Structure 1
Amino acid sequence: MAADGLALPASRSGRAAYGFLIAGVAGAAAYLAGGAGLRSVLFGLMSLATILALIVGVRRNRPRYAAPWWYVLAAVVAFTGGAVLRLLLRTESGTGLAVAIPDALVVPGYVLLVVGIAAMLRRRRASRADPARMDAFLVAVCAVFAAWCFLIVPMLTAEPPKQLVQVVATCFPIFDTIVLAVVVQLLFIAGGRAPVLWLLGGAAVATFLGDLAYALNQAGTLTLAVTDEQFEAIFLLAFIFLGAAALHPSMRELTEPHANHVNRLGLGRTLGILLVAVAPTIAATIVPPTRWWDLAVRLLITIVLGAIIVVRIVRAHNAQARAQQAARKAERAERHRATHDALTDLPNRELLTETLAHWGDRPGAAAGEISLLFIDLDRFKDVNDKWGHPVGDELLESVGCRLRSLARDDDLICRIGGDEFVVAMASPAPGALADELAERVVGAFARPFPLSVGEVIITPSVGISRAAGATDPVELIRDADTAMYQAKEAGRNNVALFDREIRERVRHRIDIDQALRGALDRGELSVHYQPIIELQGAEPLLSGFEALVRWNHPEHGAISPVDFIPIAEDTGLIAPIGEWVLDTAVAQLAAWQRERPASAPELHVSVNVAVRQLRGDRLPTTVRRVLDSHRMPPEALWLEITESGAMADHANSMHTLTALSDLGITLCIDDFGTGHSSLSYLRLIPADIVKIDKSFVMGMTDQPSNEAIVRATIAMAKALGRRVVAEGVETAEQRDLLRALGADLAQGYLFGQPRPGDAEVGWLHWPPPDPPHPKAPEPRPPATDSR
């Protein structure tokens, strides 16, 4: 049987306690029915059994605070001693020493019992604000008042006067009332379902009934036909209940603090206080005072009762006020936690949204204009990666403090994400103030942030959005976020102002992103092939093709690779698209090889590889699988990697590139001249071919500097044993100059624009036609991206 707040161990039950209780009730019945000899034996056995049950119960259940139970044990020993003395002295007259000697043990027993039960209550209360102690005191004073009126005064005014020992006996019910009141308070605190409390309550009720009947007989107020054996049987039952309470496992938690104390005055407690308040009037009506000292004592007790009632009501009122204040404080704290960032204590996105909505709803000119600064920390991840998240948290706190020092008191500074901060401004003309604050933020971040690891410098990218009057807070935040990304694209550590063109670009980007996700499955992507020509032979000959992905949208038509390739790289779609292009290109090359005569030179196909594809071991595995499935040798495949991409994640990239090189794949550095373009980087990358970017090739006949760059690049590549491919060749003059400079291969519209694999490609014929190259370049279409 589980108790609310008094959970029992899974391996124990209350069977021992209930067995002891049943055996004790049977023993009490036998005590009443048996003779004098049997009663003496049973009394001794049951008293001893109760003492042993208390000892065994405490030892077996091991409560953390056992002192109250030792007080109860001492009380039972005192009661037993008094009862034994009373049995031994029963031949006396029933007064004098025959009563005084046993009571000399019984009275301390009551004191010990009250102390023990009260100690349980004191330990059980989770707070001193619990009113149980005051209520118990109130009941005790009321019991004293009742005992004075109905027991003590009749004995003091009796003719002939009663002996003192008889007067003392009438005080026992007062002790019992206190014990019963404390047990009731324990029941209230524990929820009323703890077995140990009901067993203690049974002991208190039995003791109270026995003492009340005994006191009434002694006082002569009410003569009851109750024998000494019946009195003793009632007290034996009280012993049995105490022993069973100690044996029950729930006693272990009885002295543990419990938080469900009651501070407010409920209906039951209010009615009880009202009953206590009218008790003197009821007593005066039933038993009017007959002596001046009786009246004085009654007045004194009434004053004490009134004072206790007033204190109890005031405490209840104060407790309720404190509870309401605590609830309001907790509500404010919860509201603060819900609307503020835990790390920096700055307002969060929720409070920002509420505040923007409130500013927008202000009437008339008070609404004004709202400006929003969206601040993102550039490369904040590097701080976490280098020093760990605790240092990153330090930096975020320092950023919050610095922003507070820069903004006005009326501005709202928020942290709405990991490294994202927002400053919201509202005034009749906050636009200029926002621009000025943004510049000051960029300037202030130039100063290092002093952290535990030393001084750390981090730069911000700031986006600004504005709205006049009522506006959608979510849209305003989104616009500032969009402007912030424009600032990042402009080189970071920058400020960008949102405008509608940015919004349209973002929407266009989102539309492309959404459409691109299903383009491959819908068959909207295709691969076009641009020929790569050998320059240094007697006649230019076909070496291979570069595979370029194209997207033909069913509604928007041809979408430039310049638009969708960066999005594919950002979203990770470049990986599945890249694998599909690789497989398609190798399959097309295999088909071309089968169509060409055996005497024709072997061709190759060149496929672009994105930075994301260089991470991990997937690309080498995919390349091997594709080549094996189409029965093509490794030499037939070229893979193009931009120099900046190869160096972005140097360790992973070098591992993947080395694995590809070990497979026999030809590696090309694409767009050389636009990235690092140094001899050291060219030496580090295991590439076989260098492709000169078309921006240098197309202008080298007009700009001497471009020719110098091309000349130096070819010389550098040759010095390292690399072959050179020139991109973007559109005129015969460019072709001839490249041949003279030593370029090995070339591609561009002079030789052919990218075409689908099933289109007629003159360069595929073998032997080649005469002349083997066109006299004039074909017209160049708008989309010229090399990917």
Structure 2
Amino acid sequence: MTHVEANGQAPAARALLEFRLHLGVGLPLVLVLLFGPEQASSPVMALLLVQGLIAIHRGPHLNRPADETPWRHIRHASYFFVLSSLLRVVREFGGLPDWLTLLPDLLTIPAYLIIGLCFMVMLRHRRADEDDSARIDALLMGLGIAFLTWTFLIAPNLASDLTGSQQVNALFPVFDVTILVLAARLMLSRGVRQPSLWLLVLACGALFTGDLFYCLREALRVPVPQSWVDTFLLLMFVLLTAASLHPSMRTLTEPQEGVTRDLSRGRTVLIGAMVIFPVGLTALMPPESMASNLIRAALCLSLVLTVLYRVIRSNNSRARAERISRRRVTHDALTDLPNRELLTETVTLWAGRAAGERLEISLLFLDLDRFKMINDNWGHRVGDELLRAVAERLTQQVRAEDLVSRIGGDEFVVALAGPPSERLGEQLAERLIAEFNRPFSLSIGDVVTSVSIGVAKSTGDVHALDLIRDADTSMYKAKSNGRNMYALFDASMRDQVRDRVRLEQALRGALEREELAAHFQPIIDLASGELDGFEALMRWQSPELGFVSPVRFIPIAEETGMIEDMGAWLLRESVRQLAEWTARRGPGARPLHVSVNVAVRQLRDGSLVRIVDDALREHGLAPSALWLEITESGVMEDLEAALLTLDALRAMGVTLCVDDFGTGYSSLSYLDRLPVGIVKIDRSFVQGVGDNGAKEPIVRAVLAMTRAMGHRVVAEGVETEAQRDWLREQGCDLVQGWLYSKADVPANLTAWIDRAPALSEA
């Protein structure tokens, strides 16, 4: 326990102890006052008054509330109460002149006003003003008590010949009713009901009871014992001052979390009683003076109108809560656009009347291109800001009868209906593609993001969820075609999706079932014709689907995240195989390397460096023997994160390669930033060399550029001697391709390991 905690708990424990002592002494003394001998009443009263004054000073000092103002008010009210009580004692013994006989009673009035002010401050701190039901229920209680007070106390007193002192005493219940209403609001307001709050409310009840007895005794001459009056008034003083001692008094000046409760049985009975009794009494009691009857009627009418207002407000609150709840269910919290549920309902509704009205429903499924880069570079706050800006722009581009919805992440769907001849979907898609070329003005400046759109149509014969799925499918087609475009759905896409799902399901678990295999393709040193190393390639032989091309399953593995485990397996298997081949060749042989492709997800995964280090250490392989191939486009998706991983690998001694150079960004500035040592020219460029092809100048420029930057070059896809010879003449360092060998299993590559053949032998 820290020193601060100890200091905070000690006063609280002390306050709780003094609270228990206060009630343990005060309540028995109140009983003595009620049932004890009359000679003991004066010393007991004096003791209770002194004890209360001590408590009202000690409580705020020990508990340290956030705002002492209400307790300061109670302290000042206590002074008036004590002074009034002492003067009453003096008056009973004839110690006050006639013109001061009203003074004890008049001094009580400021005490009432100050206590009322105390409750108002507490209500403001607890934010109870926001709780209308508590205000209404408290008003009902006040009106009911006011009716009873007027009927049985005030009206009879005003009708009789009373002295000034008696008339003042008859008005005390009016102040009590006001204080009770404020106390009721404090109790009925939403929030935690702590012991201090209960003590304050009980004190108000005791005050009302004591003043009622006092009024009956002094004004109406009802033979109420003085001990009853003294007992309840001093009980009020004990409870009121005890509330300041309990540690929970701090909560009375703190904002309270709203706790919505069902209308309890007790609260229901109380509300009913406050209405039924006054109305019943009004009907049963004989008529009195015109003024008295009008006041009673006004109070009854106020009660009825208050109950009516409560019923109306309760119904409206329930309806408003249902509307808010419905909106939360059907609208996106970030953009306030309709969500998938409302989209589905709307499309289903349109589909029901599409055939009869000859309407064509069009759905545009929009996905922001490379939205993850924005989140990663500037954070989710900027990403959310962009999503809201996109929502606003989409809303501006559609008709009032169209529906723009956000169904998750950076995916939006626009639904529209109209005559088939108008091609509304295609026209809107073209317009949106153009609109997204305009930058979005965000807090970080202007941001440009393109969008891929899938368009699906229906005349009402397709289920809403199926139409959304078809639009989603065509959106992926637009992305695969190069992004920043739209694609129109056709039935063949549905077959492609079905095949893709089947392929994905079969791929899951393929690694555990040992269906994956590592194949290796030799890489040749052009200058010497000797074997320099191998590129490791992943192959999949499915029992269900047969041989599956990497072109088909690698993209699925990357999208689903399976590539991380599969890539780690290929890396470990490649290192193990190279270590085995190196041991077979023996010392003194030319060192070989193995080149392994690294997916984008692996670059983002911080564990790649550890996986590489563990594999090299386990098989005793030099880091320089491992080449890791990365693609330009993959690195550029999150350049800063990729550079952290690449720099760590380069520092370890691993050789880094840019794969498929020329097909991605192909920027000298990017290439200069990457810590690579090898550049691999894509096979699509190599195919056109050696026969005066159009791509020879491109390859020649790449070779010159990379040589100037100190990088070695590997040409992929070499299939003819003409290609080989031309590349050798241009100074290309390494080649691989079917001219030498296809990628094969290790068992079929032992001749390369044992003979290490030169080019002429190949």
TM-score, scaled relative to structure 1: 0.78
CA drift at 1:134: 2.5
Deviates more, 1:304-313 or 1:332-341: 332-341
1:557-576 residue pairs with structure 2 within 5 A? Answer: 557-576=546-565
Asked if the contact 1:606–1:639 (Cα under 8 Å) also holds between the matched residues in 2, the reply is yes
Asked if the contact 1:71–1:113 (Cα under 8 Å) also holds between the matched residues in 2, the reply is yes
Q: Which residue of 2 aligns with 1:544?
A: 533
Q: Which residue of 2 aligns with 1:243?
A: 237
Q: Secondary structure of the equivalent of 1:581?
A: helix
Q: Secondary structure of the equivalent of 2:315?
A: helix
Q: Distance in 1 between matches of 2:208 and 2:414?
A: 69
Q: Distance in 1 between matches of 2:425 and 2:240?
A: 75
Identify the match of residue 78 of structure 1 among 72, 84, 89.
84
Q: Distance in 1 between matches of 2:303 and 2:421?
A: 59
Asked if the contact 1:197–1:245 (Cα under 8 Å) also holds between the matched residues in 2, the reply is no
Deviates more, 1:407-416 or 1:137-146: 137-146
Change in CA separation of 1:64 and 1:366 when aligned onto 2, cut-off 3 Å: farther
Asked if the contact 1:47–1:239 (Cα under 8 Å) also holds between the matched residues in 2, the reply is no
Q: Which residue of 2 aligns with 1:756?
A: 745
One-letter amino acid matched to 1:413: V
Does residue 271 of structure 2 align to residue 266 of structure 1?
yes
Does residue 31 of structure 2 align to residue 25 of structure 1?
yes
Change in CA separation of 1:236 and 1:115 when aligned onto 2, cut-off 3 Å: same
Asked if the contact 1:368–1:429 (Cα under 8 Å) also holds between the matched residues in 2, the reply is yes
Q: Secondary structure of the equivalent of 2:337?
A: coil
Asked if the contact 1:634–1:665 (Cα under 8 Å) also holds between the matched residues in 2, the reply is yes
1:238-637 residue pairs with structure 2 within 5 A? Answer: 238-249=232-243, 266-278=271-283, 280-281=285-286, 298-362=289-353, 364-366=355-357, 368-383=359-374, 392-429=383-420, 432-451=423-442, 455-469=446-460, 471-537=462-528, 540-596=529-585, 601-615=590-604, 618-637=607-626
Identify the match of residue 147 of structure 1 among 156, 165, 176.
156
One-letter amino acid matched to 2:209: V
Q: Secondary structure of the equivalent of 1:528?
A: strand
Asked if the contact 2:354–2:459 (Cα under 8 Å) also holds between the matched residues in 1, the reply is no
CA drift at 1:131: 2.9
Q: Distance in 2 between matches of 1:694 and 1:363?
A: 52
Does residue 47 of structure 2 align to residue 49 of structure 1?
yes
Does residue 715 of structure 2 align to residue 726 of structure 1?
yes
Q: Distance in 2 between matches of 1:617 and 1:393?
A: 26
Q: Distance in 2 between matches of 1:717 and 1:70?
A: 90
Q: Which residue of 2 aligns with 1:201?
A: 205
Asked if the contact 1:145–1:298 (Cα under 8 Å) also holds between the matched residues in 2, the reply is no
CA drift at 1:334: 3.8
CA drift at 1:185: 5.2
One-letter amino acid matched to 1:374: F
Q: Which residue of 2 aligns with 1:698?
A: 687
Change in CA separation of 1:375 and 1:659 when aligned onto 2, cut-off 3 Å: closer
Deviates more, 1:23-32 or 1:677-686: 677-686
Map Cα deviations across residues 650-676 of structure 1 (whole Å, 9 max, x no partner).
555555555545555444443334345
Q: Distance in 2 between matches of 1:757 and 1:617?
A: 30
Change in CA separation of 1:612 and 1:186 when aligned onto 2, cut-off 3 Å: closer
One-letter amino acid matched to 2:69: R
Q: Secondary structure of the equivalent of 1:521?
A: coil
Change in CA separation of 1:499 and 1:64 when aligned onto 2, cut-off 3 Å: farther
CA drift at 1:561: 0.8
**Which ranges in structure 1 are unaligned for 5 or more consecutive residues?**
1-7, 33-38, 90-96, 157-163, 285-296, 774-787
Q: Which residue of 2 aligns with 1:104?
A: 102
Q: Which residue of 2 aligns with 1:777?
A: none
Change in CA separation of 1:758 and 1:112 when aligned onto 2, cut-off 3 Å: same
Change in CA separation of 1:643 and 1:372 when aligned onto 2, cut-off 3 Å: closer
One-letter amino acid matched to 1:502: M
One-letter amino acid matched to 2:540: W
Q: Distance in 1 between matches of 2:547 and 2:69?
A: 80
Map Cα deviations across residues 608-650 of structure 1 (whole Å, 9 max, x no partner).
3334444576445443433332233445434333454455555
Q: Distance in 1 between matches of 2:270 and 2:204?
A: 25
Map Cα deviations across residues 686-718 of structure 1 (whole Å, 9 max, x no partner).
545443332233332445223444444445555
Map Cα deviations across residues 260-302 of structure 1 (whole Å, 9 max, x no partner).
9979983212321134303532xx7xxxxxxxxxxxx634312
Query: Which of the two has greater helix per residue?
Result: 2
Change in CA separation of 1:506 and 1:9 when aligned onto 2, cut-off 3 Å: farther
Q: Distance in 2 between matches of 1:468 and 1:704?
A: 51
Map Cα deviations across residues 447-494 of structure 1 (whole Å, 9 max, x no partner).
344455555443332221223326443333333233223323333321
Q: Distance in 2 between matches of 1:299 and 1:71?
A: 38
1:50-69 residue pairs with structure 2 within 5 A? Answer: 50-62=48-60, 64-65=69-70, 66-67=72-73
Q: Secondary structure of the equivalent of 1:372?
A: strand
CA drift at 1:562: 0.8
User: Which structure's CA Rg is the greater one?
Assistant: 1
Q: Which residue of 2 aligns with 1:135?
A: 144
CA drift at 1:418: 4.1
One-letter amino acid matched to 2:272: L
Q: Aligned-pair RMSD on alpha carbons?
A: 4.2
Asked if the contact 2:154–2:171 (Cα under 8 Å) also holds between the matched residues in 1, the reply is no
Q: Distance in 1 between matches of 2:351 and 2:336?
A: 25
Asked if the contact 1:528–1:757 (Cα under 8 Å) also holds between the matched residues in 2, the reply is yes
Change in CA separation of 1:253 and 1:714 when aligned onto 2, cut-off 3 Å: closer
Does residue 675 of structure 2 align to residue 671 of structure 1?
no
TM-score, scaled relative to structure 2: 0.80
Q: Which residue of 2 aligns with 1:293?
A: none
Change in CA separation of 1:632 and 1:182 when aligned onto 2, cut-off 3 Å: closer
CA drift at 1:524: 0.7
